[in-house]
């Protein structure tokens, strides 16, 4: 039986509609809207594209949106001062510094300079700690998007065995912690496997929910998947170009074969990808509500 496909594009659209409705209601109540600033250092084409997408979405949702472009040679001190300016700006609820930064700037120092209550990427150690103890105000965007896909895809997570392939700070570790929480869309038993794990397939075949963020195209094959499992593919790998000259993408999961064995699966593209910016907007809305409630 072919798996049900969870469209991240459709789920993201639903969430954005919910955000827009809430923003309109909050604007009537407080006469202001969530504020997001994206800081871009230099002109890396990929970074420009990412930031443009974030700003476009923010404006569509009625946010107060600022794109702050800085030259490649900005000093670390000046960048830290810029962040402090936005930390103290009551019209800004979310601060996002687009990575990577130039080599002369310490990325860790920059990310740690952001007020944790405005850290809508949820990379600050305060927000990481809040996540671990189950008191997260914001969740990292991609893992939060994965959880939304599971919940809205009708996947039962409580008591399920979740196996996470990959242990990155951006996806693997946070989604493992999210799924461990005694909460809706979680309450799972979690196993994390990685490059140091012997016989990874032994564990992936046990998974009721398999979340794959390995960074290797078509790494998970059908023989590594339990019959009827929910499979979330986080990977986006370039494997060539199409006849039209566009990038040809593949996930970390052998989609065509695994979809015949899984119960539910996300495609690449159109799965987890569209959720990341949407969850950034949801975090910015949460930061706005946090500020007005204070």
Q: Are strands 94-97 and 209-212 parallel, antiparallel or unpaired?
A: unpaired
Task: Looking at the structure, tell me whether residues 99 and 206 fall in a common domain.
Answer: no
For 225-282, the pLDDT digits (tens) are 999 999 999 999 988 887 887 778 899 999 999 999 999 999 999 999 999 999 999 9
Nearest CA-CA partner of 96 in 76, 78, 132, 123: 123
Asked, for residue 227, whether it belongs to a domain, the answer is: yes
**Residue 98 annotated among the catalytic residues of the structure:** yes
pLDDT given at position 62:
97
Residue 240 is predicted with a pLDDT of 83
The single residue listed with the structure tokens 């951006």 is 170
Same domain, 150 and 265: yes
Residue 271 and residue 149: Cα distance in Å, rounded? 9
Task: Pull the structure tokens for residue 83.
Answer: 């962040």
Does 228 reside within a domain? yes
Catalytic residue among 55, 98, 147, 181: 98
**8 Å CB contact between 283 and 120:** yes
Q: Which residue is catalytic, options 55, 117, 119, 121?
A: 121
Judge whether 19 lies within some domain. Answer: no
| CA atoms of 191 and 169, how far apart (whole Å) | 16
The verdict on 86 and 172 lying in the same domain is no
CATH number of the domain within which 253 lies = 3.40.50.720
Domain assignment present for 10: no
pLDDT of residue 246: 79
**Same domain for 268 and 145:** yes
Residue 145 Cα distances to 187, 195, 210, 233, angstroms: 17, 24, 15, 12
- For helices 273-293 and 141-152, give the axis angle rounded to 10 degrees: 100
214 and 110, same domain (yes or no) = no
Annotation says 121 is catalytic: yes
Instruction: Specify if 184 maps to a domain.
Output: yes
Whether residue 93 is found in the same domain as residue 169 = no
CATH number of the domain enclosing 70: 3.40.50.10860
Distance CA 202, CA 27 (A): 52
pLDDT at 247: 79
Residue 183 lies in a domain: yes
Could you list the pLDDT tens digit for every one of the 294 residues in the chain? 689 999 999 999 999 999 999 999 999 999 999 999 999 999 988 899 889 999 999 999 999 999 999 999 999 999 999 999 999 999 999 999 999 999 999 999 999 999 999 999 999 999 999 999 999 889 999 999 999 999 999 999 999 999 999 999 999 999 999 999 999 999 999 999 999 999 999 999 999 999 999 999 999 999 999 999 999 999 999 888 878 877 788 999 999 999 999 999 999 999 999 999 999 999 999 999 999 987
Note whether residue 289 is domain-resident.
no
Give domain status of residue 6, yes or no.
no
Phi-psi region of 99 (alpha: psi -120 to 50; beta: other; left: phi over 0): beta
Residues 269, 155 share a domain: yes
Whether 78 is catalytic is no
Instruction: Give the contacts of 170 (CB within 8 A, at least 6 positions apart).
Output: 140, 142
Range of the domain at 258: 141-273
pLDDT at 284 (0 to 100): 98
pLDDT at 60: 97
Closest by CA position to 115, among listed 77, 89, 139, 143: 89
Number of domain units in the chain? 2
Q: Annotated catalytic residue: which of 54, 118, 226, 282?
A: 54
Predicted confidence at residue 1, as pLDDT, reads: 63
């Amino acid at each position: 039986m072919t798996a049900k496909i969870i469209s991240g594009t459709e789920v993201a659209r639903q969430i954005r509609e919910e955000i827009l409705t809430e923003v309109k209601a909050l604007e009537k109540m407080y006469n202001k809207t969530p504020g997001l600033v994206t800081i871009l250092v230099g002109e890396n084409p990929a970074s420009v594209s990412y930031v443009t997408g974030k700003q476009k979405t923010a404006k569509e949702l009625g946010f107060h949106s600022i794109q702050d472009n800085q030259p490649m040679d900005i000093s670390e001190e000046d960048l830290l001062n810029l962040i402090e300016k936005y930390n103290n700006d009551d019209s800004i609820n979310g601060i996002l510094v687009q990575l990577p930064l130039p080599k002369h700037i310490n990325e860790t120092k920059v990310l740690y300079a952001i007020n944790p209550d405005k850290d809508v990427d949820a990379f600050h150690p305060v927000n990481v700690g809040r996540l671990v103890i189950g008191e997260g105000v914001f969740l990292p965007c991609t893992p939060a998007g994965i959880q939304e896909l599971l919940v809205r895809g009708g996947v039962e997570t409580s008591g399920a065995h979740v196996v996470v392939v990959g242990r990155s700070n951006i996806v693997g570790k946070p989604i493992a912690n999210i799924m461990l929480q005694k909460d809706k869309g979680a309450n799972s038993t979690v196993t994390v496997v990685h490059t140091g794990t012997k016989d990874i397939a032994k564990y992936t075949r046990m998974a009721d929910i398999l979340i794959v963020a390995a960074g290797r195209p078509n790494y998970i094959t059908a023989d590594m998947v339990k019959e009827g499992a929910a499979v979330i593919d986080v990977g986006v790998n370039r494997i060539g170009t199409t006849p039209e000259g566009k990038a040809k993408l593949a996930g970390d999961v052998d989609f065509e074969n695994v979809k015949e064995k899984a119960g539910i699966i996300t495609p690449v593209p159109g799965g987890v990808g569209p959720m990341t910016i949407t969850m950034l907007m949801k975090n910015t809305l949460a930061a706005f509500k946090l500020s007005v409630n204070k």
